[in-house]
């Protein structure tokens, strides 16, 4: 009922908070929610908007459209990153850390598919939506923290775009093994019709752990649920979802307002789950808020840190 009420009757407010002089990163910003969020941020005065995209030519078209519609020529930069590749993600993170400043980042890029593929030794959705999204978040933490110290009027923010569908799936694999992401990457055990939902549950749990290990005074970390929106995310999914979107989905622009809200909140939003541009931690799934959920979170964290230390030794030092 809460989902239906939100979709049908709640309209997130139009963003008005200034980003004047700031540098903001938005991944997955050549289309959909990321594109519209980047447009809002450019409109609101950001000095630099980094469009992190896999498809550079599509990114260049997005840059032209954003700058033409906002009248802010030269504000956007198109940077290539492929979250299906550890190497590309690391190279992108290293490049971000060379920026003079990074005030906020929206990690929005994701994939939703029912086709099984292994990428970097894990099922593709897990690699993109979970492992390398967290890898990128941890990699850019130093630049965000440094910006807060170098520019005292700035409160750096790091946002992960998640989803309410994290509550629509069971995650029993954490009880079966101390490496549950490896378990769900076994083609004989993968439930691909539930894979996007599972990836968002894993992301929620892991972002909670990162936030618990990061001081709000250094970087405010948020998780944003934009609701069901018209976007390019579901291009690989089924016709039933397309029908549901026809009836219930928000426009892409309205959904993007929630992403901008996620990098506009104060320290009170640190570690929080946001819906309709507001903190709504009670909307997290009962599993996430349970003792079992916390135990699953620690199991996942141990597995993730093992993976990340292999691909980027020393990365956990970024949490200090």
DSSP run (H or E) holding 248: helix 239-248
Tens of pLDDT, residues 87-99:
999 999 999 999 9
Q: Is the pLDDT of residue 139 over 70?
A: yes
pLDDT band at 272 (very low <50, low <70, confident <90, very high): very high
Angle 243-127-278 from CA coordinates, rounded to 5°: 60
pTM score above 0.75 = yes
| Backbone φ and ψ of 131, nearest 5° | -60, -55
Q: Is the pLDDT of residue 43 over 90?
A: yes
What residues does each domain of the chain span? 16-312
* Cα end-to-end span (Å), the chain: 41
CA–CA distances in Å: residue 9 to residues 2, 249, 274: 10, 12, 17
Average pLDDT along the chain = 93
Q: Enumerate the β-bridge partners of residue 106.
A: 26, 159
What is the rounded distance in angstroms from the CA atom of residue 173 to the CA atom of residue 185? 11
What is the rounded distance in angstroms from the CA atom of residue 169 to the CA atom of residue 201? 8
Q: CATH homologous superfamily for 16-312?
A: NAD(P)-binding Rossmann-like Domain (3.40.50.720)
Nearest residue to 166 via CA among 40, 35, 260, 300: 300
pLDDT band at 9 (very low <50, low <70, confident <90, very high): low
Would you name the residues annotated as active-site residues? Answer: 196, 200
Q: Is the pLDDT of residue 244 over 70?
A: no
Q: Are 174 and 300 in contact (CB under 8 A)?
A: yes
Q: Is the pLDDT of residue 278 over 90?
A: yes
Q: Is the pLDDT of residue 35 over 80?
A: yes
DSSP 3-state of 69: helix
Tens of pLDDT, residues 143-179:
999 999 999 888 999 999 999 999 999 999 999 999 9
CA–CA distances in Å: residue 97 to residues 88, 133, 159, 174: 14, 16, 17, 34
Q: Cβ contacts of residue 54 below 8 Å, gap of 6+? A: 80, 81, 82, 83, 109
Tens of pLDDT, residues 114-134:
999 999 999 999 999 999 999
Nearest residue to 26 via CA among 70, 67, 79: 79
DSSP 3-state of 257: helix
What is the rounded distance in angstroms from the CA atom of residue 102 to the CA atom of residue 150? 11
Query: In this predicted structure, which of 25-29, 242-246, 263-267, 289-293 has the lowest mean pLDDT?
Result: 242-246
Q: Are 210 and 147 in contact (CB under 8 A)?
A: no
| Backbone φ and ψ of 67, nearest 5° | -70, -35
Q: Is the pLDDT of residue 236 over 60?
A: no
Q: Are 285 and 303 in contact (CB under 8 A)?
A: no
Residue 250, pLDDT score: 78
Give me the count of residues in the chain: 320
Q: Write out the two tokens for 52.
A: 């992190």
């Amino acid at each position: 009922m809460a989902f239906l009420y939100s979709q049908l009757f709640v309209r997130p407010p139009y963003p008005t908070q200034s980003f004047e002089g700031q540098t903001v990163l938005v991944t997955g910003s050549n289309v959909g929610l990321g594109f519209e969020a980047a447009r809002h941020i450019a409109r609101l005065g950001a000095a630099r908007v980094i469009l992190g995209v896999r498809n550079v030519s599509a990114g260049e078209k997005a840059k032209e459209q954003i700058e033409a519609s906002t009248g802010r020529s030269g504000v956007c930069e198109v940077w290539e990153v492929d979250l299906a590749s550890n190497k590309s993600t690391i190279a992108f993170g290293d490049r971000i850390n060379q920026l003079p400043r990074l005030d906020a980042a929206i990690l929005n890029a994701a994939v939703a598919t029912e086709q099984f593929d292994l990428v970097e030794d894990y099922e593709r959705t897990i690699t993109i939506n979970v492992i390398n999204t967290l890898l990128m978040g941890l990699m850019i933490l130093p630049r965000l923290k440094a910006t807060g110290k170098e520019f005292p009027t700035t409160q750096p923010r790091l946002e992960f775009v998640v989803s309410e569908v994290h509550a629509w799936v069971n995650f029993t694999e954490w009880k079966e093994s101390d490496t549950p992401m490896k378990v769900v990457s076994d083609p004989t055990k993968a439930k691909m019709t539930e894979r996007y939902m599972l990836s968002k549950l894993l992301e929620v749990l892991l972002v909670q752990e990162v936030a618990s290990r990061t001081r709000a005074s250094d970087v405010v970390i948020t998780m944003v649920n934009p609701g069901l929106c018209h976007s390019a995310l579901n291009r690989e999914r089924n016709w039933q979802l397309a029908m549901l979107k026809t009836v219930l989905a928000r426009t892409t622009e309205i959904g993007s307002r929630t992403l901008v809200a996620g990098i506009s909140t104060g320290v009170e939003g640190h570690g929080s789950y946001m819906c309709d541009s507001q903190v709504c931690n009670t909307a997290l799934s009962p599993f996430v808020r349970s003792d079992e959920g916390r135990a699953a979170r620690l199991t996942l964290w141990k597995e993730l840190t093992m993976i990340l230390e292999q691909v980027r030794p020393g990365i956990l030092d970024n949490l200090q």
